[in-house]
Chain A
Amino acid sequence: MTDNQSLHFDYRYGFSMPEKYVFKTRKGLDSDIVKEISYFKKEPVWMTEFRLKAYQAFKKRPLPSWGADLSGINFDDIYYYIKPTEDQKKTWDELPREIKETYDKIGVPEAEKKFLAGVSAQYESEVVYKSIQKELARQGVIFVDMDTAVRDYPKIVKEYFGTVVSPHDNKFASLNSAVWSGGSFVYVPTGVKVSLPLQAYFRINAKNFGQFERTLIIAEEGSYVHYIEGCTAPIYTSDSLHAAVVEIIVKKGARVRYTTVQNWSKNVYNLVTKRAKVEEEAVMEWVDCNIGSRVTMKYPSCILAGRKARGEVLSIAYASENQLQDAGAKMIHLAPETSSRIISKSIAGRGGRTSYRGLVYVSPRAEFSFSYVSCDALILDERSRSDTYPTMKIETWKTFIQHEATVERLGEEKLFYLQSRGIKKAEAEGLLVNGFIEPVTKEIPLEYSIELNRLINLEMSGSVG
């Protein structure tokens, strides 16, 4: 981003910039910067106020006292907003060369040719490339970046924004609410079934740069949508923070699937709040695959608010050297006959650490509810570690709750079996690890599961030399 650097100067509130200039806030955060971000995005007053309130909440809130050590985050050493190019480009050709190359590396155009319904690709803090096929528009489906949504669909955004994840929810949700930028907005009208998955690609590659995208998905009654986010990040040296918020509203009889395949570089603090409100007879499915990052704390949640609502979380976490994957799920049963299923698979190798942290809450009202939790941990060597922190809060007897947890070492006998078939030890280990996570990978689109298997093999090959 040489252009970016040469054009960069400290922006002061009230100063009007020529249209084509690139904008970057100074490092650190105060209410002036929050105002600047909002001003620069030409946001309505309610959003500016929302951000400022959230900033106050962020300031007051201490870091979580549980889970990962987050003391390495220096909030004063982060740029909270960078705008890489001025306008959103409609076509591929109009994109800057550097950005195009970045996307070529992660294969966006090919993927689009194949079956993308629309691409909303996030480069640094802003969506710069986006294309929506006519079919989606014809069905009345809205798939735009969040900034555009605030501008073009203010009524609906204002109605739902911050209703599932409150700006007071946790420190990082507060931070995101104050400085959010980019992310996707999806609206699926009543009865519309979006047959192809909607995909967004994320990539952080500015030094000292935090990414705070915000996604809001609203699935009206009886609708269906599958949203996929694939994240890769290049390697760079100083600490980086990713604090996203994803809010999903699944109305009566609707079904939403949200798939994440994430591979942050190994210095990223990945602290994401993902939550869905699931109404009567609706279904919410989170498929969450986490490789990379220095620390991940992520617990996709379903608030099962309507009768017969169903929630599901399938997750994979892989932790290697100096990495902590603290991942899990939360299922909040608030209505009768609700059901939930959590399947968590974690792998720790080369001294890495994984934790499953989960909550199943069944309220007194949620009679005849059903919950199944299964968490399996695979440990590749003596230096690695895995912990399980399941919490079950059950306030009615009329419910059926099941919890299973296993921890296993990569078996010598299985390795020998595969080796006796002429398979090299490293390949055998990769095969067994991929077999271990297969119950989850079979749920994600083929191209993603292939990429995931490759990434894991890559990680593994380091461990055996």
Chain B
Amino acid sequence: MIRLDNFTVKIGDKVILKNIKFTFEPDRVYCLMGPNGSGKSTFAYALAGHPAYQLEEGSKIYFCEEDITDLSPDKRAKKGMFLSFQTPLSLNGVNAFQLLRLSLGEEADPLSLKKEIEAVAKKLHVKKELLSRSLNEGASGGERKKLEMLQAAVIKPKFVILDEIDTGVDIDALKSIGRFLEEFKKGRTIVLITHYSRILRYINPDKVLVIIDGQIKREGGQELVAEIEDKGYQFYR
């Protein structure tokens, strides 16, 4: 699905991710774990194409074997990439419907889109008034994350990065998100970025990656989670 080659990312002069080589397979759930400052969010932003993150020459990103290294964020999204933000910003005067309508473009029928949004909102327990309001405005942490999921559900991407979907979320919201992901993951590649194992109660990763100091230090199955819980990230340095 996504193949990274020599993936080296800088902000200004500072190198954050070093020479990552990795392939994300289709129809798999990955869990990217690591301590604060290890480069987890950089990983998410750089993949999505944030302009502040520069790739070192020779770094390559392939989407289904197509080189997307130089594509703008919107073009990457059109290929099927989706980033759920750690702290989704509130957008004054822009509601979920307006955003999604532009996102899907002309082919989307406004009426069926509206119905679809409402149906997904119901599934995720998103309050109806949040849909007509400016996106994320006055929304709690959990509501914001659920609205991210709502967008993913409507856009239907193939490759989904969830940056700390479990941060700032109460237990009920986390349950709704977990239940949603259980169904949503089918046929997609999901990358869960987290530093807690909390979310893993609701969704089972096929593979766990430990990222420390900008490098993938360890790969393994679910058993790795228990090891991290037990020994802490220190162990992998």
Contacts of A417 in B (CB 8 A): 85, 88-89, 91
What 1/0 flags go to B56-78 for Cβ under 8 Å of A?
00000000000000001110111
A421 at the interface (CB under 8 A from B): yes
Bound complex: CA A439 to CA B98 (Å): 15
Task: Decide if B125 is an interface residue (CB 8 Å cutoff).
Answer: no
Shortest Cβ distance from A442 into B: residue: B93
Residues in A with CB closer than 8 Å to B151 are 421
Nearest A residue to B100 via CB reads: A421
B29 CB-CB contact with A under 8 Å: no
The A contact surface, by secondary structure, is helix
**Measured CA separation A411–B89 after assembly (Å):** 10
B155 in contact with A420 (CB, 8 Å): no
Which residues of B151-168 are within 8 A (CB) of A? 151, 155
A418/B99 in contact, CB under 8 A: yes
Sort chain A's interface into a size bin. 20 to 34
The yes or no answer to A178 lying at the interface (CB within 8 A) is: no
B102 within 8 A of A: yes
Contact B93 A420 (CB under 8 A): no
Chain A 419-465 residues near chain B, CB threshold 8 A: 419-425, 427-428, 431-432, 434-439
B119-158 CB contacts (< 8 Å) to partner A = 134, 151, 155
Q: How far is the CA of A411 from the CA of B51 in the complex (A)?
A: 13
The answer to whether the Cβ of B48 comes within 8 Å of any Cβ in the partner chain is yes
- Min CB distance A347 to B, Å, is 12
Q: How far is the CA of A443 from the CA of B141 in the complex (A)?
A: 31
Decide yes or no whether B83 CB sits under 8 A from chain A: yes
Q: Does B103 contact A (CB under 8 A)?
A: yes
Query: How would residues 37 to 64 of chain B score, 1 for a CB under 8 Å from any chain A CB and 0 otherwise?
Result: 0000000000011111000000000000
Pair B103/A425 contact, Cβ less than 8 Å: no
Closest chain-A Cβ to B188's Cβ sits at a distance in Å of 16
CA distance A414 to B76 in the complex (A): 17
A412-B51, A427-B102, A431-B102 known; A421-B93 Cβ under 8 A: no
> With an 8 A cutoff between CB atoms, is B11 at the interface?
no
Query: Assuming A425-B72, A427-B102, A431-B102, is B83 touching A420 (CB within 8 A)?
Result: yes
How distant is the Cα of A425 from the Cα of B50 in the complex, in angstroms?
A: 12
Closest to A411 in B: B89
Q: Is the CB of A416 within 8 A of B93?
A: no
Q: Would you give the shortest CB distance from B154 to chain A, in whole angstroms? A: 10
Task: Among A411, A425, A435, point to the contact of B94 (Cβ < 8 A).
Answer: A435
Query: Contacts of A420 on B, CB cut-off 8 Å?
Result: 48-49, 73-74, 76-77, 82-83, 85
Determine whether the beta carbon of A416 is less than 8 Å from that of B73.
Answer: yes
Question: When A416-B51, A417-B85 are in contact, do A422 and B74 touch as well, CB less than 8 Å?
Answer: yes
Closest CB-CB distance, B182 to chain A, in whole Å?
Answer: 23
Query: Most B CB atoms within 10 A — which of A423, A425, A438?
Result: A423
Contacts of B102 in A (CB 8 A): 418, 421, 423, 427-428, 431
Interfacial chain A residues near B77, Cβ < 8 Å: 419-423
Residue contact B74 to A435, C-beta cutoff 8 Å = no
Chain B residue nearest in CB terms to A435: B93
Please give, as numbers and ranges, the residues of chain B lying within 8 Å of A425 by CB-CB distance: 72, 74
B87 shortest CB reach to chain A, Å: 10
A435 vs B91: C-alpha distance in the bound complex, in angstroms?
Answer: 8
Which chain A positions have C-beta within 8 A of B103?
421-423
A residues 87-118 near B (Cβ < 8 Å) are none
Give the CA-CA distance A411 to B155 in the complex, in Å: 23
Who on chain A is nearest to B92 by CB? A435
Query: How long is the Cα–Cα vector from A282 to B93 in the complex, in angstroms?
Result: 30
The CA-CA distance from A438 to B155 in the complex, in Å, is 25
- A417 nearest in chain B by CB position: B89
A404 at the interface (CB under 8 A from B): no
* Residue A19 CB within 8 A of the other chain: no
Contacts of B89 in A (CB 8 A): 411, 413-414, 417
**Smallest CB-CB separation from A413: which chain B residue?**
B89
Report Cα–Cα, A421/B100, bound state, in Å: 8
A116 CB to closest chain B CB, in angstroms? 26
Q: Could you tell me the distance in whole angstroms from the C-beta of A338 to the nearest C-beta in chain B?
A: 30
Roughly how many angstroms separate A432 CA and B98 CA in the complex, as a whole number?
Answer: 11
Inter-subunit contact B50/A436 (CB<8 Å) = no
Closest beta carbon of chain B to A446's beta carbon, Å: 14
**How far apart are the CA atoms of A337 and B109 in the complex, in Å?**
50
Query: Contacting B72 at CB < 8 Å: which of A413, A419, A438?
Result: A419
- Chain B residues whose CB sits within 8 angstroms of the CB of A422 once the complex forms: 74, 77-78, 103-104, 155
Which chain A residue has the least Cβ–Cβ distance from B79? Answer: A422
In the complex, are the beta carbons of B51 and A431 less than 8 A apart? no
CA distance A431 to B74 in the complex (A): 14
CB-CB under 8 A from A437, the residues of chain B are 93
Give A439 to B92 CA distance when docked, in angstroms.
9
Instruction: Name the CB-closest residue of B to A439.
Output: B93
**Nearest-Cβ distance from residue B123 to partner chain A, whole angstroms:** 20
User: Do the beta carbons of A431 and B94 come within 8 Å of each other?
Assistant: yes
Question: Hey, which chain A residues are within 8 Å of B85, CB to CB?
Answer: 417, 420
CA distance A417 to B77 in the complex (A): 11
Find chain A residues with CB under 8 A from B50 CB.
416
In the assembled complex, the Cα of A421 lies from the Cα of B97 at a distance in Å of 13
Distance between Cα atoms of A432 and B102 in the complex (Å): 12
11 contacts between A and B (CB under 8 A): A416-B48, A416-B50, A418-B99, A419-B77, A420-B48, A420-B82, A423-B103, A428-B102, A431-B99, A431-B102, A432-B92
Q: Besides the contacts A418-B91, A422-B103, A431-B98, what 17 more A-B pairs have beta carbons closer than 8 Å?
A: A416-B48, A416-B50, A419-B72, A420-B74, A421-B74, A421-B77, A422-B77, A423-B99, A423-B102, A427-B102, A431-B94, A432-B92, A434-B93, A435-B91, A435-B92, A435-B134, A436-B92
Closest CB pairs A-B (n = 3):
A435-B93, A438-B93, A422-B77
